[in-house]
Amino acid sequence: MSRSTPFDTLLVANRGEIACRVMRTARAMGLRTVAVYSDADANARHVREADEAIRLGPAAARESYLKVEAVVEAAQRSGAGAIHPGYGFLSENGALVEALDQAGIVFVGPPASAIAAMGDKSAAKARMANAGVPLVPGYHGDDQDDGLLKAEADKIGYPVLLKASAGGGGKGMRVVESSEGFQAALDGCRRESQAAFGDQRMLIEKYLTQPRHVEVQVFCDSHGAGVYLFERDCSVQRRHQKVLEEAPAPGMSEGLRREMGEAAVRAAKEIGYVGAGTVEFLLDADGSFYFMEMNTRLQVEHPVTEMITGQDLVEWQLRVAMGEALPLAQEDLTITGHSFEARLYAEDPEQDFLPATGTLTRFAMDLEGAELDPARVRLDSGVETGDAVSMHYDPMLAKLIVHGNDRTQALATLNRALAALDVQGVVTNRAFLQRLATHPAFQACELDTRFIEKNEATLFAPKQYSTEEYAGAALVGLHQLARECESDSPWDRHDGFRLNAPHTIRIALCDPAHAQDDDDSEDVVVVEGTREREDAAWHLTIGSETLTARLDSLQGDAVAITLDGHRRRLQARRDGNVVVIVDPRGETRLFWRRIDAIDHGRQEAESTLTAPMHGTVVALLVEPGARVEKGMPLMVMEAMKMEHTMTAPADGHVASFHFQAADTVGQGDVLLDFAADE
């Protein structure tokens, strides 16, 4: 179909964050939006936000999002004049482009010939050499004999990088350190490549020991014009997957920026490119750069380019797909400030980044409480509170993008924004992202593609809690107890419990990983909190140290915690029995339990007694109907391997128990009915 054909309906052949992001621009341009979905995504956010949605098939991607014929049929059924593929799935699938051409539907992306030219890495290297784009020394030939490949590797010099010719995403890729390990690595790469791509061909490159991953955003129209929208540094990676990205790349001279940008445009024009593309380079410490590959689609990290240029790249894509000329010429494009993007994944960094699933009980960002400028912070997400995180797809939940006048300001904004991001119900890498962003080496721009590996010892060091962190978490816990007893607001009460003053409460705190340790464990810290009835301050005793502590609520989730006159502003919230305290320097998560004999007060326990924590009933100490006196033990619970005795709140009798020994109870469950004497 001619690229000059306008369209008024756009089908987004993707899901999650990128589908929502594309539809946002399409709506702003007045286009009708169509979503597609699998059975697992029937109620997903991108489906809810589209003007209409069409089912593709079962949950498995190969039976839904990867089915070319189903996507084309959905476009025809909905009357869509164009399809935007997003990234991943069918975004670099030439068969889809050809099918759309036959159906008379516009593909928002390059022609099939350009996708094919860059899809085969060996052939792409030859085309780039022809265009005068610098290449890493290596072997990209058709002869795949084992002996020849080993000889070429020996000639290049170790270490070398073995890469699947048809590969991507880190599959079929290994670093070979010596000639002795070459054959085993080759065999492994071939197995991975065959399984992932149905192709065993390999290419070999010199492995640069401390390269940076710097990529250039290019754009070409169907009238022969091409520009570059500057560069992004994507060096912070794990398993060849990007984690943090920034634009512009730190330390770039104007000369090097222009040289890389012009090389990227030559690469795009060499293959007749149209639309948005990214040319990825390895940048060596001496300023040399080498072509790595070209992604013939919109990149995950495109928002940082939008932030520094002020351009909407999806709008550019749609206008170019309609046959329009590029909105700006090269001389009209400028860089303003600095931008970072952090990818939020449902995964557990402490468990080798194992993907996580579940239901998001809370997904929010407290911009007001963190005092962040909404114009400087952008959260591109495909989920909302209440959404399920499925096992079927990539675990990325959202992208947090920030902007500052310079790198220092942008990094400070990133850390404040990460602190303001509250995700509950599913394990995420949020705290790990903050450790990366606050790492001294990252702040000092000591960047290369092995950044995480080189700094693993500090990035994954066991958390050591300070007295101030224990005190802050205890203070949040004490105010939570006050709320449960007296108020619906978590921070509004500052007058303690309604018992005769002074009153002391004991709380056990520990790392959530050690929540089952007992109170004699070195991993558990006991805090005693005492407060006079008319006094707004708590007196916290931790070991031999006593601090005067106060908590004041601010906007949103923000609180001010004052310890011995030192006031700090931070974000504080609870995730079950875990207190989460976050500031721009990092996160503290501590599991807390009340461990004293709990006196609920006569007024509140005249009819019921509730569980102060999740735990197990150990024993019932009296019979139903028994006459008891105030303070008499009624039942014993166990939590954190510590026993907690529930006592009579007043003189009276136990009408009935709601649980038996060995039963599990949740925080707030009614344990027994109690009748106080008149």
Q: Does residue 604 surpass a pLDDT of 50?
A: no
Look at the block and give the residue holding tokens 């992004």.
Answer: 232
Look at the block and give the residue holding tokens 């991607």.
Answer: 61
pTM of the predicted structure, to 2 decimals: 0.79
Cβ distance 411 to 438 under 8 Å?
no
The verdict on whether omega for the bond into residue 303 sits within 30 degrees of 0, i.e. cis, is no
pLDDT of residue 499: 39
pLDDT interval class at 149 (50, 70, 90): very high
Nearest CA among 573, 568, 533 for reference residue 550:
568
Alpha helical stretches, state H, 310-380: 313-321
Task: Tell me which of 45, 201, 232, 297 is the catalytic residue.
Answer: 297
Q: Does residue 503 surpass a pLDDT of 80?
A: no
pLDDT of residue 295: 95
pLDDT interval class at 519 (50, 70, 90): low
pLDDT of residue 137: 87
pLDDT in tens, 563-595: 999 999 999 988 778 899 998 888 999 998 888
Share in percent of the chain as helix, strand, coil (round to 5): 30, 35, 40
pLDDT in tens, 188-226: 999 989 888 889 999 998 888 889 999 999 999 999 999
Nearest CA among 262, 256, 295, 235 for reference residue 115:
295
Q: Give the number of C-alpha atoms closer than 13 A to the C-alpha of residue 75, restricted to the C-beta side.
A: 30
pLDDT of residue 610: 78
CA distance 594 to 642: 10
Tokens of 556: 């949103």
CA distance 256 to 418: 32
DSSP 610: E
Instruction: Determine the average pLDDT of the residues in 280-288.
Output: 92
- The one-letter amino acid code at 204 reads I
Q: Does residue 50 surpass a pLDDT of 80?
A: yes
Nearest CA among 242, 283, 250, 298 for reference residue 89:
298
**What is the CA 198 to chain-centroid distance, rounded?**
31
- Write the CB contacts of 394 (distance below 8 Å, at least 6 apart in sequence): 16, 88
pLDDT in tens, 636-668: 887 644 567 888 888 899 989 999 998 888 766
CA distance 122 to 193: 14
Residue-by-residue DSSP string for 268-321: HHHTT--EEEEEEEEE-TTS-EEEEEEE-S--TTHHHHHHHH---HHHHHHHHH
Instruction: Report the share of the chain in percent with pLDDT over 90.
Output: 67
Axis crossing angle, helix 112-119 with helix 121-130, rounded to the nearest 10 = 100
Residues, the chain = 678
Indicate the average pLDDT of the chain.
89
CA distance 119 to 138: 18
Tokens of 152: 């070429």
pLDDT interval class at 521 (50, 70, 90): low
Q: Does residue 352 surpass a pLDDT of 90?
A: no
Instruction: Determine the average pLDDT of the residues in 398-422.
Output: 97
Helix (H, G, I), strand (E, B) or coil at 196: helix
- Write the CB contacts of 84 (distance below 8 Å, at least 6 apart in sequence): 10, 11, 12, 13, 14, 22, 26, 108, 109, 314, 317, 318
Q: Does residue 599 surpass a pLDDT of 50?
A: no
Axis crossing angle, helix 121-130 with helix 254-270, rounded to the nearest 10 = 110
- The one-letter amino acid code at 564 reads D
Give one word for 652, left, alpha or beta, with left for phi > 0 and alpha for psi -120 to 50. left
DSSP 250: T
CA distance 77 to 73: 6
CA distance 124 to 121: 5
The answer to whether residue 435 is catalytic is no
- Write the CB contacts of 344 (distance below 8 Å, at least 6 apart in sequence): 381, 396, 397, 398, 399, 400, 421, 423, 428, 429, 430, 433
pLDDT interval class at 601 (50, 70, 90): very low
Cβ distance 238 to 452 under 8 Å?
yes
Q: Where is pLDDT greater, at 488 or 513?
A: 513
Instruction: Report the share of the chain in percent with pLDDT over 70.
Output: 91
pLDDT in tens, 83-98: 999 999 999 999 999 9
Q: Where is pLDDT greater, at 615 or 401?
A: 401
Q: Does residue 633 surpass a pLDDT of 50?
A: yes
Q: Does residue 362 surpass a pLDDT of 90?
A: yes
pLDDT in tens, 450-501: 999 999 999 998 888 999 999 999 998 887 776 665 544 333 333 334 434 4
- Measure the CA dihedral 107/111/117/120, to 10°: 20
Scored b (16 or more CB within 10 A) or e, 592-616 reads: bbbbbebbbebebbbeebbbbbbbe
Tokens of 58: 């079962």
Helix (H, G, I), strand (E, B) or coil at 129: helix
Axis crossing angle, helix 430-437 with helix 407-420, rounded to the nearest 10 = 160
Specify which residues 365 forms β-bridges with.
421
CA distance 299 to 295: 8
CA distance 213 to 204: 18
Look at the block and give the residue holding tokens 């009614």.
Answer: 670
Edge-to-edge strand list for the sheet holding 664-665? 642-647, 633-639, 615-620, 664-665
Nearest CA among 293, 236, 430 for reference residue 349:
430
